[in-house]
Amino acid sequence: MLEAKNITKTFQSEGVETPALREVSLTLQAGEFVSIVGRSGSGKTTFLNVLSTLLAPDSGQILYQGEDVTGFSAQRLNELRNRDFAVVFQFHYLLPYLTARENVLLPFMNGLGPVGREETARAEHCLERVGLGGKGGKLPGHLSGGEQQRVAIARALVKQSTVLFADEPTGNLDKGTGEAVMDLLAGLKGDGLGIIMVTHDEGYARRADRVVRMADGMVIG
């Protein structure tokens, strides 16, 4: 479903070039859960950002359903991200003045117009799917950290995306809450959703179908 071929990326700062990715490749099948691990600075988050099209590579290809998306226009990339790709970060980035339901509905909010019944029903279904049924009317400040991260996951799911990119989704949670989020992610991939997760936690990484190890901008195992 998703394939990266020989991806390279170099950052420049004050005239100094720092290679972040060195011809990195990866494949993801539909319904597969892949974790990416490595020390800080290994390139794993940069690779996730390139895979999710949030960052353009210097060279190489990102193939989605057989089509090279690295040549897409900005508009086509936005459409791809809005339709098929979803990203969950370590920090949930919920709007504090919106309810959990409204935060999940953000991808459908354009201007001041009301959100349709179908989208609202989908948001409620996604909240139930992440174990927050009945809590859609609560503000983020009235939810625990783990519940807030679940709202962020529901917001990613509401678009009916095919690939979920998760960057340290448990990094800001205690062990018990992190385990609950991992249980949720493991269950989601059974619905045909492809998941790529960056984590520093070896135990969480092993919950995936496959572990990809990175060091110095390269895949080493």
**Does 115 map to a domain?**
no
- Dihedral angle, C-alpha 217, 92, 161, 206, nearest 10 °: 50
Which DSSP symbol is given to 30? T
Residue 32 near residue 210 (C-beta atoms within 8 A): yes
Provide the CATH number for the domain around residue 65: 3.40.50.300
Model confidence pLDDT, tens digit, residues 37-77: 998 889 999 999 999 999 999 999 999 998 999 989 999 99
**Does 169 map to a domain?**
no
Tally of CA atoms within 13 A in the half-sphere of 49 that contains its CB:
14
Which whole number is the average pLDDT over 107-125? Answer: 78
Residue-range definition of the domain harbouring residue 1:
1-84+194-221
**Does 153 map to a domain?**
no
Rounded distance between C-alpha atoms, residue 30 and residue 84, angstroms: 12
**Does 176 map to a domain?**
no
Model confidence pLDDT, tens digit, residues 179-201: 888 887 888 776 678 999 999 88
pLDDT at 117: 84
**Does 43 map to a domain?**
yes
**Does 139 map to a domain?**
no
Q: How many folded domains does the chain comprise?
A: 1
